[in-house]
Structure 1
């Protein structure tokens, strides 16, 4: 719950998001590479694990490739994380008034998180799509603007929103898990008596929340990556087009475990990353609250 104007929520979310992406981005690159890989195990050049992916990318493409496409997420992180937290605060106020609920409530936290995730999705889709196209091993794009220019020219303006449906599912599920678990874990942790204990609690709650959200939404993330990496050709129905049929296709052709491709780098990023997000966001909001009220 926030008593601060929207601009402070926006700035706090932006700082938190950029802090997290700078720390964790290489894991996102590896996660995407593994998710896009359809080759059978043992195929020459195929990634066999997270560490194998890191080793092969660095050896064959250079360390810089681990930051390939970071400009799109950096540009995205400010609005994305700002919308995530500010929408969560705003929807929280709306639902508390609607249902006449006072104080924290886990069911309300899940509903609020899901709605905030849906709101966030409309902001992030074009940035996510550009990032996926740049991270793809087969990518020949020279940068984000090149992706946008060629997609609009070859696939149409609305192609920038390819994968919106899958992105909605991904963000609804992750945010519902993240904010719902944060609410519950915070209520179970000991009351804080110092700033250090407050940071500890936020780091624990955010990490558990991020891990839970990742466990729940990874299948949606896998099919979102597949959908967004596929160029649209007029008259041709893409193999991966809609979320639930794509989930079925991946599970049928590659096995259920394929829906969790890239899970380890993803959870290593978004588990601790969820803790970083919550700690930095809370610290920024505390700073702005003191500034605003002084």
Structure 2
């Protein structure tokens, strides 16, 4: 069980936490987006009848993407991701803190089961933003790979924009077209958050504290805690992320749902397919959450609003 400050001793200020989460998300995703693009393309590519594939490794994907699309091609789809990562991270990080604050006992103790529940609820809340954000991001990220296939086959290459894609999805499927793959997204994010947040809190509590009396860990330890927790959680949910990515990308074959995607992938590509891009995913999420968690705990929102930062639950 985690020992925390008596929750009656202070109020939970939501607004500065939202600012912290938004800033943390923007900084984090800007740093790691090129790796995320590589992860998406590795997960979405399939093996040809003779074992041929477009990308043979992370480095090969980087090299071919930059050669074909330039350095800024590594940020394809980043605009919509950066735009929506602000509310996504604000919801996720703030909701976790909020539920931890209210689920802790009057003595300031948060059992592991309730810490996992707080994380899971945060993951559930975030899918309202995460699902459309990742749907648009994945299809924009994968557009370069699809375009290369079309050029090789002599087909017309269609220019894809986030706004054009959004209008097409809404026109063809209504607003719910933006929530394609919501089931897999929910399973992934809830599972990830149930593991990540309790582990993050535990590791963060073991490190050195600031000398300002806030009780917070020093900034570099929050970075370490986020890195280790993000790495562990990312690896554990990689198979779910592969399924989600394929359901939302769906460029080469049509899947009827999570079970159909699992069955077809297993039958055609084997168990290893569920760990495609796994290393890259760990390389993306470990620094993303490390950087985001560090900036979240820096208390930018409290500084802007002139609020004294106290230890979070």
In the superposition, the TM-score normalised over structure 1's length comes to 0.88
**Structure 2 CA distance, aligned partners of 1:18 and 1:292?**
22
Q: Does 1:110 align with 2:116?
A: yes
Q: Does 1:267 align with 2:282?
A: yes
Shift of 1:281: 0.1
Deviates more, 1:248-257 or 1:145-154: 248-257
Matched-pair contact (CA < 8 Å) for 1:220–1:243: no
**Structure 2 CA distance, aligned partners of 1:293 and 1:275?**
24
Counterpart mapping for 1:59-74 below 5 A: 59-74=67-82
Task: Call closer, same or farther: CA 1:132–1:286 in 2, change over 3 Å.
Answer: closer
SS in 1 for 2:146: coil
Q: Which residue of 1 aligns with 2:92?
A: 84
Which of 193, 204, 213 matches 1:186? 204
Which of 243, 253, 266 matches 1:223? 243
**Structure 2 CA distance, aligned partners of 1:24 and 1:199?**
19
Q: Which runs of 5+ in 2 are unaligned?
A: 1-6, 148-157
Shift of 1:133: 1.2
CA deviations on 1:171-223 (whole Å, 9 max, x unpaired) are: 11111121021122234x34435589712221111111101110121111111
CA deviations on 1:65-97 (whole Å, 9 max, x unpaired) are: 110011111111110000001111122233236
**Structure 2 CA distance, aligned partners of 1:77 and 1:119?**
14
CA deviations on 1:3-42 (whole Å, 9 max, x unpaired) are: 4421111110000000001100000100000110112497
Q: Does 1:47 align with 2:55?
A: yes
Q: Which residue of 2 aligns with 1:131?
A: 137
Q: Which runs of 5+ in 1 are unaligned?
A: 232-237
**Structure 2 CA distance, aligned partners of 1:155 and 1:239?**
16
Counterpart mapping for 1:1-294 below 5 A: 3-40=11-48, 43-44=51-52, 46-96=54-104, 102-136=108-142, 137-138=145-146, 140-187=158-205, 189-192=206-209, 194=211, 198-230=218-250, 239-284=254-299, 287-288=302-303, 291-293=306-308
Deviates more, 1:206-215 or 1:107-116: 107-116
Matched-pair contact (CA < 8 Å) for 1:206–1:271: yes
Shift of 1:286: 7.7
Shift of 1:107: 2.6
**Structure 2 CA distance, aligned partners of 1:190 and 1:23?**
25
Q: Which residue of 2 aligns with 1:234?
A: none
Shift of 1:246: 2.1
Would you say how many aligned residue pairs link Structure 1 and Structure 2? 285
**Structure 2 CA distance, aligned partners of 1:169 and 1:247?**
14
SS in 1 for 2:56: coil
Question: Greater helix share, 1 or 2?
Answer: 1
- Decide which structure has the larger Cα Rg and report it: 2
Higher relative contact order by CA 8 Å / sep ≥ 6: 1 or 2? 2
Aligned Cα root-mean-square deviation (Å) = 2.6
Shift of 1:289: 8.9
Shift of 1:230: 2.7
Deviates more, 1:165-174 or 1:147-156: 147-156
In the superposition, the TM-score normalised over structure 2's length comes to 0.83
